[in-house]
Structure formats: C-alpha cells, structure tokens
Amino acid sequence: MHTSRLRRSAGPAFAGAVVACASALLASLVSPAVAASTPAIPVAPPPTGSTIEQAGGSAQTLGHNVAGQLSGAGLGPSVYAGTGGGPARYVALGDSYAAVGRVAPGSWGAGPVACVRTDDAYPAVVARELGVGTFINASCGGATADDLWEPARHGAPPQLDALDAQTDLVTLTIGGNDVGFAAVIVACALRPNTAPELLPVVDSITSGLAEGFDATAGCSDVIDRQATRALEELDTRMDSVYAEIARRSPAARVVTVGYLSAVPDDQTLLSSPDCAPFIEISDAERDKVRGFQQGINRVVRDAALRNGATVVIPDEPGHSMCTSPDTRWVDFTGLQTASVPVHPTSAGHAHVAGRVVSALSG
C-alpha cells in the first residue's frame, strides 16, 4: 500500500529554519523536573500583555522542546488533557498549515522544535472549543503525505502512529508540500524579483525548500508540468491515507481541512504593496498561481469526499496575503502578523477552527 516516496518540498518548513540558530541556547532554560501527569490543553495565547512574561513562557516551552528532541523523548506528538465534554480522543494530523500559527512570545507549544506547533493553530483552537478529553497533536511543519507513514527527517515518528481504536475525531491537512507549494513561491515570486547575478545564491538557499522540484525552470513550468504531475500522484495517494486512518481508528470522524486562499484576484493583488513580488510575473502566470492553489483544494476535497470524510475548504475571498494585516488570514512575509512567511495568521487559524467546529455540529 505504501508506494514509492513522493517528492518532498519543505516549503512550509520555513518555520523550522526560523528557530534553528537560537534553539540550542534554550536548552538551559529547562527546569530540572518535568511533570509526570498529562498537561492541560494550553489556553489561547494572549494577543497583548507583558512581552517579557510571554517571552519567558515561550522560552521555557522551547527549552523543554529542545531537551526532548535532543534526548529523543520529545519527538512524538504533543499530548494534552481536556475537560472531557466533547470527543474523547482527538488526533490532529498534517503539515504546517495545521501546526504553525503565530511564531511570537506566548504562542509556542510543546513538541519537536522543527515541527513548530503553536497554541493558536487551528487544532489547538478546535480542542479547546470542543472540550475534548484528550488532544494529540501530531501535525508538523514541512510534513508530506509520506510523514504519515514514515519518520520525518528530524526524527518525529510517523503521524499515523498517534491513532488508535479509541480515537473518535481526526483532522487532516496535507498535500501542500507534496505538490510543490514552496517551488511555486520561489519560481513565481522570489526568482522573478532577484537580480540575475544573485540567482545562484538564491537557488542554493532555496533548494531545500523546493526539494524534488526545479524552480529554475520558471513559474509556468513548475505549475503546468511539475505540480500537475504531483497533484495527480497526491490524488491517488490520498485514498491510501484514508484507508489507513479507517483501519487504525474505525470509529473516528475524519475532518479534512484544505488550504486558505493566499493569492487573490489581480485587482486586489496589484493594489497591495505587500504582494509586489507577484507583479513581476505575467497576468497569465498569476492566473496559473491562482489555479494552482485551487487545484490543491480540489484534490483535497475530491479525495476526502470519495472516502467519506467531512470537508472544510476555508478559501473564502477577502483575506489573502494581499489584504490589510488586520483582515489577513495568510501573510506573505509574516512581519506584520508575527506568522511564518506564506502561512496562516492567528486570525486565519481561528477562522479555520470555526469552520471545523461548525462542520462537526452540522
């Protein structure tokens, strides 16, 4: 059932690189004793308050994460105890569009450092809203469909290992890295805005982000040829994903969550300084980028529906990375919302969580 390994694009693994240099310094912040009991589901990160206090809490959490990763004891999913009023055992699977929200003081959650799980990401919000009995967060930045079955590059165990017969709710967000999300951003936004003499440097730096894809071939080639082939492979692969979830957790309700809309219509894009990198490509290429993001959600939706999963596609217009920061659900640079580049903001995750909760009550 587990066929040859799909391309691995670590695009939304930007998050892991953000902390790589600083993480080793945080190990000294770990307290000597670690509580043996299962911690409670973290409260929502404060949007305001003492920066020093929030930073101290985040540093303490990161210190535990670093120590756990170095020892191997903290590579698995993050496990929390809830109030018990909702589903008994909720498992979140997926990539950074499930794992990563606001990378800022007060938001960092438990788990492997490279996974960058934050407490404002939609799985944590859903767990709090539903009052689940146990919340198991196996999502991880940079994950591909292969990481559901196989250990991730940084040692995190297969995400599907978090499932068992008692699991009664599963959320899943996967596919963006498999089909070259990062390669599209590099080919269609970054390289067109880079001076020719600097392209070798940029290509060297971004090669790991677009692994398995050739972003140097140009925006149209990445989308028309490379990503189209990858989308076909992902569509076939997803049937095996759902079959394995059903085998391990036959009583679970599965909610598949697609991707927030990142690139809007040209009228919005061309009037936004924050989306200036996309102005360098042609009108036709911008249409291809929009078609690409729609293609990911189409594959996600179709595979979920034919396998009996509940589907949430949170691609409503008006909240792309070209809108004002206070209405933005995805941010291109992350600088104005403290999010990871080309990733959901806290507001975006809150919207997705609301859609998931509504779907479960429907």
Cβ distance 249 to 167 under 8 Å? yes
Place of tokens 């693994």: 13
Is 64 tagged catalytic?
Answer: no
Cα–Cα separations (whole angstroms), residue 92 to 78, 121, 257 = 10, 11, 11
Cβ distance 344 to 329 under 8 Å? yes
Cβ distance 15 to 109 under 8 Å? no
Q: Which residues contact 264 (CB under 8 A, 6 or more apart)?
A: 275, 317, 318, 320, 322, 323
Is 71 tagged catalytic?
Answer: no
Cα–Cα separations (whole angstroms), residue 274 to 76, 178, 255, 333 = 37, 26, 32, 8
- Residue 171 is classified by DSSP as E
Distance CA 314, CA 220 (A): 26
From the candidates 343, 346, 349, 351, give the one annotated as an active-site residue.
343
Residue 325's φ and ψ, nearest 5 degrees, are -55, -35
Q: How many residues does the chain have?
A: 362
SS3 312: strand
Query: Amino acid identity, residue 139?
Result: S
Distance CA 15, CA 184 (A): 17
SS3 81: strand
Distance CA 68, CA 229 (A): 38
Cβ distance 255 to 359 under 8 Å? yes
From the candidates 78, 96, 139, 320, give the one annotated as an active-site residue.
96
Q: What are the b/e assignments for 229-262, b being 16+ CB within 10 Å?
A: ebbebbbebbebbbebbbebbeebbbbbbbbbbb
Would you please indicate which residues are annotated as catalytic (active-site) residues?
96, 343
